[in-house]
Structure 1
Amino acid sequence: MKNESQLKSSKRGVLLRLAIFMALMISAFIIPSSALADFGYTEDSTNYTIDTGANLVFKVKRSNGDISSLIYNGTDYNGYTNKNSHVETGLGQSDVTISQPSSSVIMVKVVYGTLEQYYVARKGENNIYMFRYIADDSVTVTRYIVRLKPSLFPVLNTSNSWYSSYSTLEAKDIFTDTSTGYTYSKHYSDTRVMDYNYTGISNGNVGAYIVRSNHEKASGGPFYRSLIRDNTDVAVNLYEILYYGMAQTDVKRYGLQGPYVLAFTDGGEPSSKLYTGNLKTDWIDSLGIHGWVGSSGRGRVAGVGIKNMKSDYEYVVGFSNDEAQYWTKASDSNGYFSCTNMLPGTYTMTIYKNELAVYTTDVTVTAGGTKILNSITITDDPSDNDVTWRIGDWDGTPLEFKNGSLMTKMHPADSRVESWKGNYIVGTSDASSFPCYIFKDVNNGLIVYFRLNSEQAAKDHTLRIGITGSYIGGRIQPSVNSWTSKLPSASNQPGTRLMTIGTYRGNNYAYSFTVPASAFNTNTRDWNQLKLNVISGSNGSDYLSPAVSIDCIELE
């Protein structure tokens, strides 16, 4: 027989096993905390509150359509200094309504004049899908701004992140750390539209991101650079830019843009399933969003290939008209390209060597159809010209020149920038020693030294100067020895700042000058001097003086 001690031990064992069994049974029925929330919405006199049924609960103000709260895992990340997330700097009194089109979708519609803004939540997702319909220019808005509490995120070590203690360098949007001479601005994203899928910020445990839309109703094309994020100790802003007036060369387009997605994560990157081109959109077809065109109402263009491509250059195929814009990369090996999900219409198709247009034609897209293009031969690449000498190459960028790779992420006055002076000796110098920009007040009168043999010196030559953009009418009037060209006309360029806001891209333009044989030295041992002077009918000072951005200089 068991003694009393053994009986107590046996009883404790049974109770322990029973406790473990009950714990296992209970745990089998416990619902994870992230799934406890109920998908749905409530309303009061001030806000609509939408629970996504995941970890995100957000509020939309009934008066003006602002997002007034973004609660993720119990913490509100929205806003700073009484500012919310909203269209531009906020709409006025609007008609704001909410609906539940299906058991898995909640939609808020904001109507402000001829503008419509939509917020859409899907059950079980930590995402807000946004759409914007603009009928005309009676409502002049250009962007959506997600404003986040800066105390919850770090100030990042990037060119568009800085501290409020830094000094103002230019306008009210470019700053400098006087201890280092480094410069910072919301403009310095260092990113073309075609090169990013999302922008955002993470503190390691929570990430907030805007996954950009396809930009079909935006402006600027694939190479456009604009503000996409800025991050300081007093403000964190994420942007979806639809039309921005700075350095703009494109038309303003109207209609529906979206979806762009505000996505919250547990610190990591947003899902690639949200990227434009990857996102499945058939669920949007039945929501009744103004201007929405599903995949069945769209078409495609495909090219068999491109001939006369140059190695080491990327080729991009762009499509644009006044209604929409698209782009796609061509295959490095044979130039095959395919552009999908396009609205019906006739487009100007442009093939770019890097960022220089080297071929254009018109193509027509039909709903549900595919336009097949036979192999295309590029015939308009100026790099194919026979030349006496050439500085740089024709690619629509100044990146190969001195400071060229820095100018998308800092101001020309930054301490990391090399001297803007620097003459050039043909046959000795390389492009990296020649400044990418010429400012009238900073480094005007740069000289290119070159020699010609007797046969070359006896002929007229064509001097070609390619620019990627200019500021306040800046253009180059060249002189060779004692000869000076006639006054060139200003090219068509944006009317805003250019070289100081992180972009070199205006409208690519090439000036041609006939230099007579009489201008050249007859003694082949003597150096000829090509002097490059920026002229303009407008005035400015220092880095805001008339200026040009160099693409290529050659003597044919």
Structure 2
Amino acid sequence: MAEHKSPSPLRRLGRRRFIVGAGAAGIAVSAGAVIEGLASSAGAATFGYADDGKNYVINTGADLVLKVSHVNGDMTSLVYKGKEYQGYNGQNSHVESGLGASTVSITQTGSTILVKVVHGTLTHYYAARSGENNVYMWTNKADASFTATRYIVRVKPGTFPNADPDAWDSTTDKIIEAGDVWSKPDGSTRSKHYSGLRVMDYDYIGWKNSAAGMWMVRSNHEKASGGPFYRSLLRHYNDGGAGLYEILHYGENQTEAERFGLQGPYVLAFTPGGAAPSAKLYARNIDTSWVDGLGLKGWTAKSGRGRVAGVGLSGRDGAYTYTVGFANADAQYWTVANATTGGFSCAGMLPGTYTMTVYKGELAVHTAAVTVTAGGTTTLHTMAIANDPAAAGAIWRIGDWNGTPAGFKNAELLTRAHPSDKRAAVWTGDYTVGSSSAGSFPCYLWKDVNNGLLVYFKLTAAQAAAAHTLRIGLTTNFAGGRIQASVNDWTSRIPAAPTEPNTRTLTVGSYRGNNVTLTYSVPASAWQSDPGQYNVLKLTVVSGTSGSAYLSPGVSFDAIDLLA
């Protein structure tokens, strides 16, 4: 294995001679001749690396040449098929917003070249493999000395066509919220937050044109936070340039404590003609046996991991997908249960004891503790779903208990648009049980926008003679918002504020929080005694926090029902 560290000022290599990684001894060559060859055509040179005095220059032996700075570990160049893709506004591609001065070294082990970047307690790796147009990356964050964990690939403006919800034009559009939400002249909205995708929904994200595809293939997110339903920015595109991300921890809308340790590989992949990246790179498929001998800090080989296999889940609702998640302080995983049997399997897990959570849609309906051992399989017998709130008999129900606002007014739009978007249906309007559709009930309720929503319903004489429990399911709240309920002349207590993320949620494409169910015991004296008269339920957002318009305290609904 050949190793080359960035030279100190006293030992910097001359600009006319450097080492190409070609075995332990290396080969001395003319810097000018090799660098010109690398830059002009990736395929013109063989697999190896060079040092141009400022960067390690890595040729994959295919169609990709990349450069990594000696000084800070930034990726300073990405040349695919002779075209430069990296860089806008003088910025490079890097961890976070750039690490600053770092210790950078390079090694070649057989058909793999590895660059190691060390900055304080954070270590980042780049790897190139012979004959591949891929950059493999890992990030090992040991503590909270960095506020987030992300890699951003900076892409030249105008390189790819893009008119998706995460693209905007700063020359024509105007900022309407916090510097990162934009309104176009036609009233539609755009933001880097509006990917519309949960982590489990995608294997890769990026762009394509007739010449090339540029993709970020996500890692398994075992050291990330937020679980399978977490939504975060994945890319952005504007007149100044584009950014392609792997987000491993982001302070916005986090429902879990941050995890530390080695995360990856995530892969920057180039493809000819805009083709999709190879499915062999997907987190669930990738063969990482070649990584075992590279000496990555925190790397655990397949032999040091275990598996959980479940025979099945009984008591499921066939209308929903069931996801089985595993989480502890050190790692997280998930898998989708078989739609017919409810069986599931989750492999590649680090040893330890996990809380296993079964989700109907995004609503937790079963939990248990599961222990994973290295090299072993933990087998679970059929488990019965016993905590589905939809199983309770209800006089009426608005929406479905699934942990999301799906089916409510504007729910489909708001993972890719701002609530003020011209395409959004009017937020006000009351609801009548038995005649209104769920689609007329707003997915979100804000103190300063559509507060005091009224729900009209009738009860039979027998129903009105008894007390009943009112349940309101919330997927999250913003700024401490919660619901105070009143029925006719009766008013509930003010519930305690649920524990939720203290960042923006409802305006940045995410309804996901800590699903909670607020319950209210409504006495028989609250009801109308005449079965022909409507009872009027009023839903009022209350909070000790102020705010205006769509940044006022608010909530996202899961379902509402009155139990029999």
TM, length-normalised to structure 1: 0.93
CA contact (8 A) 1:204 1:268 kept: no
1:225 and 2:231 equivalent? yes
Q: What secondary structure does 1:161 align onto?
A: coil
Partner of 2:73: 65
Partner of 1:5: none
CA contact (8 A) 1:117 1:130 kept: yes
Written as runs of structure 1 = structure 2, the 5 A alignment for 1:121-132 is: 121-132=128-139
Partner of 2:157: 150
Q: Deviations over 1:7-39 (max 9, x none)?
A: xxxxxxxxxxxxxxxxxxxxxxxxxx8743211
Q: Deviations over 1:473-498 (max 9, x none)?
A: 00000000000001111100000011
1:196 and 2:202 equivalent? yes
Partner of 2:263: 257
Q: Deviations over 1:446-478 (max 9, x none)?
A: 100011111110100100000000000000000
* CA drift at 1:399: 1.0
1:184 and 2:196 equivalent? no
Aligned-pair identity (%): 57
Q: Distance in 1 between matches of 2:187 and 2:146?
A: 40
Written as runs of structure 1 = structure 2, the 5 A alignment for 1:327-346 is: 327-346=334-353
Partner of 1:45: 53
Q: What secondary structure does 1:151 align onto?
A: coil
* CA drift at 1:153: 1.8
Q: Distance in 1 between matches of 2:246 and 2:559?
A: 33
Q: Distance in 2 between matches of 1:121 and 1:211?
A: 15
Q: Distance in 2 between matches of 1:239 and 1:431?
A: 36
1:391 and 2:398 equivalent? yes
* CA drift at 1:71: 0.7
Please list every run of 5 or more consecutive structure 2 residues that lacks an aligned counterpart in the other structure: 1-40
Counterpart of 2:310 (choices 298, 303, 316) is 303
CA contact (8 A) 1:301 1:365 kept: yes
Q: What is the number of equivalent residue pairs in this alignment?
A: 521
Partner of 1:551: 558
Partner of 2:19: none
CA contact (8 A) 1:87 1:141 kept: no
CA contact (8 A) 1:143 1:240 kept: yes
Counterpart of 2:246 (choices 240, 257, 266) is 240
**Residue type at the aligned position of 1:393:** D
1:111 and 2:112 equivalent? no
CA contact (8 A) 2:481 2:497 kept: yes
Please list every run of 5 or more consecutive structure 1 residues that lacks an aligned counterpart in the other structure: 1-32
Q: Distance in 2 between matches of 1:110 and 1:34?
A: 24
* CA drift at 1:92: 1.1
TM, length-normalised to structure 2: 0.91
Counterpart of 2:370 (choices 363, 373, 390) is 363
Q: What secondary structure does 1:242 align onto?
A: strand
1:56 and 2:26 equivalent? no
Q: Distance in 2 between matches of 1:239 and 1:137?
A: 20
Q: Distance in 2 between matches of 1:450 and 1:76?
A: 64
CA contact (8 A) 2:150 2:246 kept: yes
Q: Deviations over 1:515-543 (max 9, x none)?
A: 00000010111100000000000000000
CA contact (8 A) 2:488 2:526 kept: yes
Q: Deviations over 1:274-325 (max 9, x none)?
A: 1111111100000000011010000000000000100210100000001000
Counterpart of 1:317 (choices 317, 324, 329) is 324
Runs of 4+ in 1 over 3 A off after TM superposition: 33-36
Q: Distance in 2 between matches of 1:546 and 1:134?
A: 34
Q: Deviations over 1:28-71 (max 9, x none)?
A: xxxxx874321111113211100111110010000000000001
CA RMSD of aligned residues (A): 0.9
Partner of 2:222: 216
Partner of 1:503: 510
Q: Distance in 1 between matches of 2:211 and 2:278?
A: 16
Written as runs of structure 1 = structure 2, the 5 A alignment for 1:466-505 is: 466-505=473-512
Q: Distance in 1 between matches of 2:64 and 2:435?
A: 62
**Residue type at the aligned position of 1:484:** T
* CA drift at 1:203: 1.9
Q: Distance in 2 between matches of 1:53 and 1:35?
A: 6
Q: What secondary structure does 2:462 align onto?
A: helix
**Residue type at the aligned position of 1:91:** L
Q: What secondary structure does 1:349 align onto?
A: strand
Q: What secondary structure does 2:394 align onto?
A: coil
Q: What secondary structure does 1:150 align onto?
A: coil
Q: Distance in 1 between matches of 2:160 and 2:406?
A: 33
Q: Distance in 2 between matches of 1:125 and 1:49?
A: 15
Structure whose CA Rg is larger: 1
**Residue type at the aligned position of 2:406:** L
* CA drift at 1:260: 0.3
**Residue type at the aligned position of 2:222:** E
Partner of 1:540: 547
* CA drift at 1:196: 0.2
Q: Deviations over 1:100-149 (max 9, x none)?
A: 122x1111000000100000000010101001111111233320000010
CA contact (8 A) 1:240 1:260 kept: yes
Written as runs of structure 1 = structure 2, the 5 A alignment for 1:446-485 is: 446-485=453-492
Q: What secondary structure does 2:249 align onto?
A: coil
Partner of 1:97: 105
**Residue type at the aligned position of 2:271:** T
